[in-house]
Amino acid sequence: MSLSPTQNQAPLKLGLIGDNIKQSSTPRLHRIAGHLNARAVSYDLLIPPEREETFLEVFETAQIEGYSGLNITYPYKEKVVPLVQLADPVLDAVGAVNTVLFTAQGPIGYNTDYTGFKAAYQATRGDDAPSEVLIIGSGGAGRAIAFGLADLGASALHLVDTDLPKADGLKRDLARGFPTLQVTTMREVSNLPPEITGLVNATPIGMVGYGGTPLPAAHMREAKWVFDAVYTPLETPFLKDAASLGLEIISGWELFFYQGVHAWAHFSGGSVDEAALRAALLQA
């Protein structure tokens, strides 16, 4: 992963733009990372509906008010793309940004969901190939995970989204970078191909404030591993069902951790002691 140019040791003023984010652990992660690096960090939750502002208004105000950078979460990861310079050409195909660094040259966009998912997958499953995977949700998180799985050598992806044109758009974008990857789209899960080994929830379903599960347990029996992008709560109904069936679980907390580590690198221009950060975050 390439890092941003080294920043000076001035205090970092950071924020998170998103809806339904009051339970987010992201502010705590970056404050701890700052403490571990003897760096002053402030971190604000910027919620457009509560501010009675549009996403664009909140984004522009943050830039005017001297924020060093922002994390972007649901449902704004795709909306921010036209407002930034993309740090990596692959992000043009991914079509989503979750980390923005404000610089003298303008805002620069990164996707640490994309890099963080790959790190989380490899930390859990090592070099085991993803094989054939069902992804529920093709928004910002789903796009990052789909490209991450393609990079990791997935043989086929099945995209499920009630907004079928959105899934079809992701299919077209994947074809640009991975022309041999088999991709199918569907509005809902019915009969799953028996070859599917991985199941991914890339929707907010199961998050605090949303509830439910994106996939009935009856559809999970033939899979080998599951991943849930939701990490609040840590044990979602989706993951509980998977655990009861003995499936290997990649927790959304792991994505949260690695995307945060990578975002900190962009914000600060440096690294963080990952073991110390993990231990501090897991303390009650």
Domains 12-111+256-282 and 114-254 share a fold: yes
Of the chain, the percentage scoring pLDDT greater than 90 comes to 88
- Catalytic residue, candidates 13, 77, 118, 166: 77
| Residue range 114-254 in CATH 3.40.30.10 | no
* Distance (Å, whole) CA 127 – CA 5: 31
Please state at what angle helix 252-268 crosses helix 26-36, rounded to 10 degrees.
50
**Does residue 7 register a pLDDT over 50?**
no
pLDDT in tens, 40-75: 999 999 999 999 999 999 999 999 999 999 999 999
Average pLDDT on 226-244 reads 94
Token couple for 55 = 């996403």
79 flagged as catalytic? no
As a three-state string, the secondary structure of 21-62 is: CCCCCHHHHHHHHHHHCCCCEEEEEECHHHHCCCHHHHHHHH
The average pLDDT across 86-99 equals: 95
pLDDT digits (tens, 9 = 90+) for 174-218: 999 999 999 999 999 877 788 999 999 999 999 888 889 999 999
Closest CA to 101 of 258, 256, 261, 268: 268
Is the per-residue pLDDT at 77 higher than 50? Answer: yes
Global pTM reads 0.91
Edge-to-edge strands, sheet with 182-186:
182-186, 156-160, 132-136, 198-201, 225-228, 248-250
Question: Domain locations in the chain?
Answer: 12-111+256-282, 114-254
CATH architecture, domain 12-111+256-282: 3-Layer(aba) Sandwich (3.40)
Kindly tell me if the per-residue pLDDT of 8 is higher than 90: no
What value does the CA radius of gyration of the chain take, rounded to a whole number of Å? 18
